[in-house]
Amino acid sequence: MDNNFTHTTVLLQEAVDALFDGRDDASAGCYVDATFGRGGHSRAILARLAPQGRLIAFDKDAEAVAEAARIADTRFSIRHQGFRDIGELAPSSVAGLLMDLGISSPQIDNPARGFSFRFDGPLDMRMDTTRGESVADWLATAETQQIAEVIRDYGEERFAVQVAKAIVARRQERGPVSTTTELAELVAGAVKTREQGQNPATRTFQALRIFINAELEELQQALEASLDVLAPGGRLAVIAFHSLEDRIVKQFIAKHSKEVYDRRAPFAAPKAMKLRALDRIRPSDAEVAGNPRARSAILRIAERTDA
């Protein structure tokens, strides 16, 4: 792993406080960092844990797992798995669960990973480079309509059809797109207008990354699993960085924070709510000034009820 790539953890203190504060003996429990990344949150959680507490981390990026191996703490363990697999943990065993969504700075800044249009590199974008299909592989065979739907649905790109047509036309004329620079140039030619200060390729790169890693599907699966693994009183803290993620988290918490009535049995007792929404936190102006990548972050916090 290249240690020249650094990462500044977003909402570090706020997220860790959300897991621990206001609960007696919380530090003795089992905690989960569902998206280890470069370990900023994990290290802060370990600093708050009692000797009998433990922390289980998940990450499907082999470089993140290698970074985790540097933590010499018997209370800590790392699993080379996506966070959809938190459901493998014992029911009602977790005192606090943190999900820091999106990608880390080392992933973005490493040209070999292919996440950014700022650098020329292979068009990969896989979180787990040991398995699955790269973006280049998928674009080499996908139909125009498929590409357009992905870019529209996951990138909210108005010019999704034009971008898809440009990608397929290029494939037919000169072969498949294989590098980040090639894709960024194609998108720039297809996207006619863009918000001030935003690169034309931003939405397309976001869409392809989300799609190739099944990020939204994994988030939905992980949220549902959280209801099983969190103990009563256990905390759920999720940091989202764009509207698609945050909408899923917001709707999930809202759905499970209210009693459910069965319309077919109007006199039956309602099903009790499973979560209690606690807070919504944005980064401070000072944090955004020091780390511009934090500007879109939203931390949502909920607590598992006794239901």
How high is the pLDDT of residue 307? 67
Confidence of residue 139 (pLDDT cuts 50, 70, 90): very high
Apex 26 CA angle, 20 and 28, nearest 5: 130
Q: Mind listing the pLDDT tens digit for each residue in 180-199?
A: 999 999 999 999 877 777 88
Domain positions in the chain are 12-105+215-304, 129-212
Which of the four pLDDT bands, split at 50, 70 and 90, describes residue 21? confident
- The pTM of the full predicted model, rounded to 2 decimals, is 0.90
d(CA 127, CA 146): 21
pLDDT at 103: 83
Confidence of residue 109 (pLDDT cuts 50, 70, 90): confident
CA dist 258 → 95, 112, 231, 269, 278 (Å): 22, 46, 18, 13, 13
Q: Please report, rounded to a whole number, the percentage of residues in the chain having pLDDT higher than 70.
A: 93
Query: Which CATH architecture fits 12-105+215-304?
Result: 3-Layer(aba) Sandwich (3.40)
Q: Which of the pair, 102 or 57, is modelled with greater confidence?
A: 57
Q: Which CATH architecture has domain 129-212?
A: Orthogonal Bundle (1.10)
- pLDDT value of residue 14: 96
Ranges of beta strands (E only) in the chain are: 30-33, 54-58, 76-79, 94-100, 230-240, 275-281, 298-304
Question: Partners of 33 in the beta sheet?
Answer: 57, 98
Residue 1 is predicted with a pLDDT of 41
pLDDT at 108 over 90: no
**8/292 Cα distance (integer angstroms):** 10
The three-state secondary structure class of 40 is helix
- Arithmetic mean of pLDDT over the chain: 92
Which residues, 6+ apart, have CB-to-CB distance to 45 below 8 Å? 16, 19, 31, 33, 55, 96, 98
Two domains, one topology: 12-105+215-304 and 129-212: no
